[in-house]
């Protein structure tokens, strides 16, 4: 994938990734290595100049509807309540757009159930300005899941949060993944986050990005936050740090 024409920036080249259904894969690497480009290619927001992207057995030629996305900035519409912000994808995704008018109560119940799962029971009527940053990100996760996506893409979703809130949301994501068969791709700079949440961690090279290491995370699920103090956990994090440092220095 190259940006800016034939002489522009080559973002990724020789990038090969395979994920199984229900798997949780984290993608890490030096800044500018193509992590966000990988997400855009996977979801059909960008098309590669060479190669192919296949999701759920179908080649991706346009933006796909089976995906939910959550970014670092929740971008909630200030004039809509938290509940109405969560319901927004249902007004866009084709298979739900027609049903929401006649089955709105059913969808509201689903949204309220998601809010309860992420610890926001009763906050549906609140507006975004009445929520903390961590609460907005919890609502953002609900919005990404409301249309029951098969693939959940997380692009630095907790990067702007304080350490305690971030770790709380790791547990929320852990539990949401455990309770469904959703496939998750997490792009993150936080190596502890990747080791705590993922089944596999892909390390990308410096630009143009390609996979230089594929780690199977050895820790059993469910994982508790005490794992962060485990020697083997910290050895894995250190190994990841060293690989990324070498990739950056080799650029």
The reported pTM is 0.89
- The confidence score (pLDDT) of residue 90 equals 83
What would the two tokens of residue 66 be?
């089976």
Cα dihedral 200, 118, 21, 34, rounded to 10, equals: -50
The C-alpha atoms of residue 109 and residue 233 are separated, in whole angstroms, by 39
Do 77 and 68 form a contact (C-beta atoms < 8 A)? no
pLDDT tens by residue, 81-114: 999 999 988 887 767 767 777 778 888 998 999 9
pLDDT tens by residue, 33-72: 999 899 999 999 999 999 999 999 999 999 888 898 888 7
pLDDT band at 125 (very low <50, low <70, confident <90, very high): very high
Q: pLDDT at residue 251 above 70?
A: no
Do 66 and 56 form a contact (C-beta atoms < 8 A)? yes
* Residue ranges of domains in the chain: 1-66+150-251, 77-149
pLDDT tens by residue, 164-176: 888 988 998 999 8
Pick the CATH number of 1-66+150-251 from 3.10.20.30, 3.30.40.10, 3.40.640.10, 3.40.50.300: 3.40.50.300
Which of these, 38, 12, 3, lies nearest to 151 by C-alpha position?
Answer: 38
Q: What value does the mean pLDDT of the chain take? A: 91
Measured CA distances, 84 to 71, 140, 199 (Å): 18, 12, 33
């Amino acid at each position: 994938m190259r940006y800016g024409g034939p002489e522009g920036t080559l973002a990724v080249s020789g990038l090969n990734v395979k994920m199984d259904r229900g798997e949780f894969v984290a993608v890490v690497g030096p800044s500018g290595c193509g992590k966000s480009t990988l997400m855009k290619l996977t979801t059909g927001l960008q098309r590669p100049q060479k190669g192919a992207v296949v999701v759920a057995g179908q080649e991706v030629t346009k933006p796909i509807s089976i995906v939910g996305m959550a970014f670092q900035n929740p971008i909630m519409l200030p004039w809509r309540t938290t509940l109405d912000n969560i319901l927004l994808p249902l007004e866009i995704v084709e298979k739900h757009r027609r049903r929401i008018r006649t089955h709105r109560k059913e969808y509201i119940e689903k949204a309220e159930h998601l809010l309860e799962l992420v610890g926001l029971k009763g906050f549906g009527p609140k507006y975004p300005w009445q929520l903390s940053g961590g609460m907005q990100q919890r609502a953002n996760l609900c919005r990404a899941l409301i249309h029951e996506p098969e693939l959940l893409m997380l692009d630095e979703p907790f990067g702007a949060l304080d350490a305690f809130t971030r770790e709380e949301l790791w547990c929320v994501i852990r539990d949401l993944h455990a309770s469904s068969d959703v496939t998750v791709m997490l792009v993150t700079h936080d190596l502890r986050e990747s080791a705590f949440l993922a089944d596999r961690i892909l390390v990308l090279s410096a630009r143009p990005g390609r996979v230089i290491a594929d780690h199977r995370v050895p820790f059993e699920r469910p994982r508790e936050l005490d794992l962060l103090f485990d020697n083997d956990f910290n050895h894995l994090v250190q190994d990841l740090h060293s690989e990324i440092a070498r990739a950056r220095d080799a650029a």
